[in-house]
Amino acid sequence: MPDSSLPAPVSPRSATPRSASPPTTPPRPRQDEQLGIFGEPRRLFVCTPSKLSAYTDCPRRYRFSYVDRPRPVKGPPWAHNSLGASVHNALRSWFDLPPGRRIPEAAATLLKAGWITDGYRDAAQQRLAFRTALDWLESYVARLDPAAEPVGVERTVATTTATLSVQGRADRIDERVGPDGRPEVVVVDYKTGRTGLDADDARGSQALALYAVAASRTFRKPCRRVELHHLPTATIAAHEHTVESLERQVRRAEQTAADIVAAERSVAGGDDPDQVFPPSPGSLCGWCDYRRHCPEGSATPGQEPWAAVERALTGPGSG
Ligand code: SF4
């Protein structure tokens, strides 16, 4: 999952009712509803966590991304997205190395091989960003066990619920021993934004919760723990979900999907898209790819493509 936190990153298996789920197992798909045993198959809303969050953040932005065709032309690429994707590329390649070559000195080669140049102000800023990202990486991989093999690296996981077919690509999925002594899988999400993260960020992330549900389906193991690994501050923000907290996140996602389906039907029925997908102007507008197409968002000053990176490299506490 490329880092989207900066202002702007299978198998259904049981018809067992949720109430019969063991206490450490995330909510299960309701197969009777999916397969339409007693009627027509229910059409599931196909989505990723980022698609759902796009609507939650701003219905107008969702419309630009997923409804309007042809899609409005986006603004220029963001340097912070390039930086985040470059670090993700290096960490993916790290696990392609044989364990004996997983040493911090390898980070420079990996970062260089996957470096993305888009969005920076100039070559000097890009060089500084590279050196900073290399510091983050060397520090991070020095604390990894070279012999540890994740069960998934940039692995697509997917699941279905009563109304959703959700899939996404998790940065990393580890298998570890859970609090009850049994193996479980853990969702790891790398973050490279300037701001540090805490347990509330991990707890409140709908994307991480949906990944946890999907990872549990995919690997057929409990998945309760989700972790945000913030490379600039070398910190980990973690949360242990319960079946109930995962259920709540799934229900929220289903409600968002229901709202989207209703809005899309409304537009298909002839209603005004500007009314049905209203703007949510705010601080994110300055970082929105579609700001130039949005009269309400255009009232907010736009940010330079390199602005977030500049703050990360020069602001207090920068790496
Ligand atoms: S500019 Fe702001 S209000 Fe307009 S689509 Fe983007 S985020 Fe939404």
Quick: pLDDT tens for 63-74.
999 999 999 999
- The parts of the chain modelled with pLDDT lower than 50 are 2-25, 29-36, 316-319
Can you give the pLDDT at residue 104? 97
What pLDDT score does 195 carry?
Answer: 82
Q: What average pLDDT does the structure give for the chain?
A: 89
Q: Which residue has the tokens 């207090």?
A: 316
Which atom in ligand 1 lies closest to the alpha carbon of residue 279?
A: 3
Distance 294 CA to ligand 1 centre (A): 6
- Which numbered atom of ligand 1 lies nearest the CA of 291? 1
Q: Specify the residue with its C-alpha closest to ligand 1, atom 5.
A: 61
Q: What is the pLDDT of residue 196?
A: 76
The residue whose CB lies within 8 Å of the most ligand 1 atoms, and thus the one to mutate among 63, 285, 303, is 285
C-alpha to C-alpha distances, 220 to 62, 107, 119, nearest whole angstrom: 33, 33, 41
Instruction: Decide: 260 in ligand 1 pocket, CB within 6 A.
Output: no
Is 280 a pocket residue for ligand 1 (Cβ < 6 Å)?
A: yes
For 211-238, the pLDDT digits (tens) are 999 999 999 999 999 999 999 999 999 9
Query: Atom 2 (ligand 1): residue with closest C-alpha?
Result: 285
Cβ neighbour number for residue 273 with a 10 Å cutoff:
16
pLDDT score for 315: 61
Closest CA to 266 of 91, 94, 59: 59
Ligand 1 atom having least distance to the Cα of 57: 7
pLDDT score recorded for residue 318: 41
Encoding tokens for residue 91?
Answer: 């960490």
Q: Tell me, what's the pLDDT at 72?
A: 97
